[in-house]
Amino acid sequence: MIIVLLGLPGAGKGTQGELLSSKLGIKKVSTGDILREAVRKATPLGLQAKEAMDKGELVSDDIVIGIVKEELSGKNCRKGCIMDGFPRNLQQAKELERMKIKCKAVHIKVPEEEVIKRLSSRRVCPNCGALYNLITNPPKKDEKCDICGENLIQREDDREEVIKERIKVYKESTEQLINYYRRKGKLIEINGVGSAKEVHRRLEVAL
Ligand code: AP5
Ligand code: MG
Ligand code: ZN
């Protein structure tokens, strides 16, 4: 079984995906994290993806579908997985359907004004990937990671102009997947406003 997390940039897909992954003991697959890691290491994949990511646009379907197929064929996904950031348009959703794996989609609903606030104050650990928020989930000491002590950074695409573009791309390409999964009777919708723990509890109940 695959659990697809849908929602605006900053809705909490990464945060909830992580909590759910620990709870259910299944892997979280984040196409955004995989692509960012490739960019950081300047691999051929990263070099191909960087330009679109910096602008807040989608990376090509071929690249992303290739990543997902490889992940899903790995032994860590044998029990299923949580998909954070895939599918992101109709072509990707259809490709996932062709893989014939049972899936459920969860739409984490958060208003646009709220996600803009969250993204502007997000910080991430470049070493272990831990997520923070200067307002709602600050690190214990300065801007250093609680887990590994590394200096936290702001994501390249969390600049105001790029946040606006990502929201625009979401509305043009990704939002339609909510109806796509609703029509198939596979959609769960939860209110994503409240603490991360509250949202996680709603998600557990809904699943
Ligand atoms: P991706 O990494 O998927 O980014 P995104 O969809 O824009 O989503 P975010 O990661 O920004 O937000 P999130 O929903 O995970 O929120 P988070 O939990 O961090 O994609 C990045 C780029 O990669 C794309 O633009 C594209 O170029 C490319 N890409 C990726 N997948 C692709 C695909 N399939 N096809 C093509 N291109 C692809 O939370 C945000 C902040 O809020 C954090 O600071 C967090 O601490 C805080 N927070 C979380 N929950 C709460 C809460 N309940 N209350 C208060 N604060 C909260
Ligand atoms: Mg994320
Ligand atoms: Zn860390």
Per-residue pLDDT at 5:
98
- Residue 56 CA to ligand 1 centre (angstroms): 11
202 included as an active-site residue: no
Q: Quote the tokens at residue 64.
A: 């992303």
Share of the chain above pLDDT 90, in %: 97
122 included as an active-site residue: yes
Closest residue (by CA) to atom 21 of ligand 1? Answer: 32
Per-residue pLDDT at 58:
98
Per-residue pLDDT at 4:
98
Closest residue (by CA) to atom 50 of ligand 1? Answer: 12
Per-residue pLDDT at 207:
93
Question: How far apart (Å, rounded) are the C-alpha atoms in residues 61 and 5?
Answer: 18
How far are the Cα atoms of 60, 89, 162 from residue 155, in angstroms, in the given order?
20, 23, 11
Please tell me whether residue 75 adopts helix, strand or coil conformation. helix
Question: How far apart (Å, rounded) are the C-alpha atoms in residues 20 and 3?
Answer: 10
Tell me the whole-structure pTM to 2 decimals: 0.96
Mutual angle of helices 61-73 and 90-98, in 10-degree steps: 30
71-125, pLDDT tens digit by residue? Answer: 999 999 999 999 999 999 999 999 999 998 999 999 999 999 999 999 999 999 9
Question: How far apart (Å, rounded) are the C-alpha atoms in residues 168 and 106?
Answer: 20
Low-confidence residues in the chain, pLDDT < 50:
none
